Amino acid sequence: MNFTPVPQISSLHPYKPGLPIDELARRYNLDPSKIIKLASNENPLGPSPRAQEVIEKGVQNIHRYPDQHLLIDALSNTYNLHSSNIIIGNGSNDILDLIARVFLGSGFESISSQYAFIVYKIVTQLTGAKNVTVSAKEYGHDLPAMELAINKNTRVIWIANPNNPTGTFVPYQEIRRFLESIPPHIIVVLDEAYFEYLDDDQAIESTKWIQDFNNLIIVRTFSKIYGLAGLRAGYGIGSPQLIELLNRARQPFNMNGLAIEAATAALADTAFKNQSREQNKAGLQMLQQGLAKMGVKYIPSHGNFITVFTEDPMTTYERFLSQGIIVRPVTEYGLTKHLRVSVGTGAENRQFLSTWETLATKLS
Ligand SMILES: *Cc1c(COP(=O)(O)O)cnc(C)c1O
């Protein structure tokens, strides 16, 4: 090859997304409308209807550069914070990447948990920094062990709560204690992509904690409960000092105009959010009960997906594909006997369970 990438690129592999519906349709000559995709933790209800409306209207303005203040103001009202506490991104992954680029680089380290969201490793390595992985505790974050992994080079700690792909959740009291005990020059990223799915007795409005911890940044997304994964919209909430530093590295128009308008509308659509949350709760329960009845083990989940044990995940995955159901292998996480399954509609969940039952009988 004639090109030589910077050294950190050599050991990186591209992120593997869930298989798109049309690709499977082509592969098995299936009707795309009959394919069930439970692979990317998308909202099975579709997008918020209010978001769809504003997109239709907003199309006539796409010759204009976007005005990010529409969404920043809506978020600051929602959370009762100043606009200087908020940064928006082209998906929340954009914010994760900004954090890495601003606070990491060659000679520095970040810390994440084994089985935590793989993007933390990717964005860390891209800067030339090293990601230190701390062994999981029951598939989730072991915060005391993560604290012990801190050294003089540590600059960023990534926490996914709930975590993807394991669905594990660390109670907020433990996160709070962790924040109180770590050095204040280390940035703590609390990635709450699934926050809105938490039960009321578990959820704490962690965005209030940015008043107490200048080094805390909360990252949330419009890709999951708001149903806007295809638009790319996410945000970060933190101290003005931290947000100002991130803005230095942000592309001027990182979030597109339609995404800004749709996210603003979706944020106000509490009916859709509540409906999505209730449906997810029922769906998760149906999946957990159905799996348990078949004697299939799984990791109890706090998100909109569930990670299931299977002896030979790639074979199970391929068999599901042949039946028109897309789930997600998670072998690149070191989860070699598992498949991740997103919660679908009631009908999709039933179809998944009955397919599992059929495939299991065929296998035995
Ligand atoms: C899905 C997910 C995100 C969201 O990414 P977007 O770029 O906003 O689509 C972020 N963090 C975790 C842990 C996720 O699972």
Closest ligand 1 atom to the C-alpha of 232?
9
Q: Exposed, middle or buried, 229 (CB in 10 Å: 0-12/13-18/19+)?
A: middle
Cα Dmax for the chain = 60
Q: Is 164 in the pocket of ligand 1 (CB under 6 A)?
A: yes
- What contacts 234, CB < 8 A, 6 or more positions away? 88, 89, 90, 91, 92, 93, 94, 95, 219, 220, 221, 222, 223
Which of 141, 164, 254 has the most ligand 1 atoms within 8 A of CB, as the residue to mutate?
A: 164
180-195 pLDDT tens trace: 999 999 999 999 999 9
pLDDT in tens, 193-242: 999 999 999 999 999 999 999 999 999 999 999 999 999 999 999 999 99
Over residues 244-264, mean pLDDT: 97
- pLDDT, position 34: 95
In the three-class reduction of DSSP (H, G, I as helix; E, B as strand; rest coil), residue 159 is classed as strand
CB 242 within 8 A of CB 98: no
Residue 1, pLDDT score = 64
Instruction: Confirm if 250 and 99 have CB atoms less than 8 A apart.
Output: no
Ligand 1 centroid to Cα of residue 119, in Å, is: 9
**pLDDT tens digits for range 63-79:** 999 999 999 999 999 99
Residue 42 pLDDT exceeds 70: yes
Q: Is residue 117 within 6 Å of ligand 1 at its C-beta?
A: yes
Mean pLDDT (the chain, rounded) = 96
pLDDT score for 2: 82
Calculate what percentage of the chain has a pLDDT beyond 90: 94
Sheet holding 109-113, edge to edge: 86-89, 234-238, 216-221, 187-191, 154-160, 109-113, 130-134
Ligand 1 centroid–CA 282 distance in Å is 22
Residue 363 pLDDT grade (very low, low, confident, very high; cuts 50, 70, 90): low
- 302-326: average pLDDT: 96
**Cβ neighbour number for residue 350 with a 10 Å cutoff:** 15
Q: Which of 244, 235, 128 is nearest to 189 (CA)?
A: 235
Q: Residues 6 or more apart from 211 whose CB is under 8 A from it?
A: none
Cα distance between residue 134 and residue 288, in whole Å: 28
Are the beta carbons of 24 and 30 closer than 8 angstroms?
yes
> Does the structure show a pLDDT above 70 at 91?
yes
Helix (H, G, I), strand (E, B) or coil at 12: coil
